[in-house]
């Protein structure tokens, strides 16, 4: 594991490296099939999904290393990353977020049911703040008959605030956000939605670009709902707002 970690760090610092299946085998990284499909240009989407309760909810460190390695190469066919129904620990979220921060091709980031809490959301927010290419993020929880509570995303106010601040940064261009079925009580997006213009440089004004926002089934108070709706009513770009309540 130590050797794999060292090689991973060296590769990240060498953006001219060319990743391939042979290279992965050489450095003792064995990517799962979904990652190999990206490496060998067979797919634009990497979907690591667990579809039943009997599968291992933990993602192996080897798979996280491989994912970060692929993200660091900015492969033009890598458009979407989806990880569903797993447990992403703090270390894995940190590694993944660092790789996403410098990636230039990923546009959709779907992390449903991965035990993501405020710390994970804060780490990801830093990446989003510096990444102008991601257009959609989904950090929701989707329950079904077998989903265990240990994999529920449970983002609260601190994480939601971090995401909202990242979205309004001058470099972030996310247009679709899904934070449904988390544990958010206070609204942080109303103030973002109602801001009309932001200055990027003296000769350029840019409108905030959120077009679709899903905050359904959180723990919003009446005051928070009022704040959000007031901001939404003043937005020039918002097209869809989902706010179903429990």
Neighbours of 145 (CB within 10 A): 5
Instruction: Work out the percent of the chain whose per-residue pLDDT is above 90.
Output: 62
Q: Quick one: 149 exposed, middle or buried, by C-beta within 10 A (0-12, 13-18, 19+)? A: exposed
Strand partners, 204: 201
Helix 157-167 to helix 118-129 angle (10° resolution) is 10
| Strand 108-112, strand 80-84: pairing | parallel
Residue pLDDT, tens place only, 188-240: 999 888 764 454 444 444 545 799 999 999 999 999 999 999 999 988 889 99
Structure-model confidence comparison of residues 54 and 231, the more confident one: 231
Range 69-101 burial, b when 16+ CB lie within 10 A, else e: bbbbbebeebbbbbbbbbbbeeebbbbbbbbbb
Highest mean pLDDT pick, 62-76, 116-130, 140-154, 159-173: 116-130
Residue 21, pLDDT > 80, answer no
Q: Quick one: 62 exposed, middle or buried, by C-beta within 10 A (0-12, 13-18, 19+)? A: middle
Residue pLDDT, tens place only, 164-186: 999 988 788 999 999 999 999 99
What is the rounded CA–CA span in Å between residue 101 and residue 71? 9
Under 8 Å between Cβ of 67 and 34: no
- 3-class SS shares of the chain: helix, strand, coil, % to 5: 35, 15, 50
Residue pLDDT, tens place only, 81-118: 999 999 999 999 999 999 999 999 999 999 999 999 99
| Strand 204-206, strand 212-214: pairing | unpaired
Neighbours of 197 (CB within 10 A): 10
- For residue 235, give the nearest of 195, 198, 197, 178 by alpha carbon: 195
pLDDT at 201: 47
């Amino acid at each position: 594991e130590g050797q794999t970690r060292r090689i991973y760090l060296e590769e990240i610092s060498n953006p001219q490296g060319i990743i391939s299946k042979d290279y992965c085998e050489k450095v003792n990284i064995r990517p799962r099939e979904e990652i190999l499909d990206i490496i060998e240009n067979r797919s634009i989407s990497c979907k690591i999904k667990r579809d039943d309760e009997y599968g291992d909810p933990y993602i192996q460190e080897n798979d996280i290393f491989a994912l970060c390695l692929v993200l660091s190469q900015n492969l033009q066919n890598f458009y979407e990353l989806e990880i569903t129904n797993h447990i992403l620990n703090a270390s894995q979220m940190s590694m993944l977020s660092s790789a996403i921060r410098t990636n230039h091709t990923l546009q959709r980031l779907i992390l449903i049911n991965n035990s993501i809490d405020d710390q994970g959301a804060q780490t990801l927010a830093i990446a989003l703040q510096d990444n102008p290419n991601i257009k959609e993020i989904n950090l929701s929880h989707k329950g079904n008959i077998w989903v265990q509570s240990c994999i529920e995303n449970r983002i609260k106010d601190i994480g939601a605030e971090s995401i909202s601040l990242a979205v309004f940064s001058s470099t972030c261009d996310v247009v679709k956000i899904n934070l449904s079925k988390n544990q958010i009580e206070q609204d942080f997006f109303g103030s973002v939605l109602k801001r009309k213009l932001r200055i990027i440089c003296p000769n350029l004004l840019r409108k905030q670009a959120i077009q679709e926002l899903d905050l359904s089934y959180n723990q919003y108070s009446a005051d928070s709902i009022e704040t959000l709706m007031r901001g939404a009513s003043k937005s020039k770009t918002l097209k869809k707002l989902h706010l179903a309540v429990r």
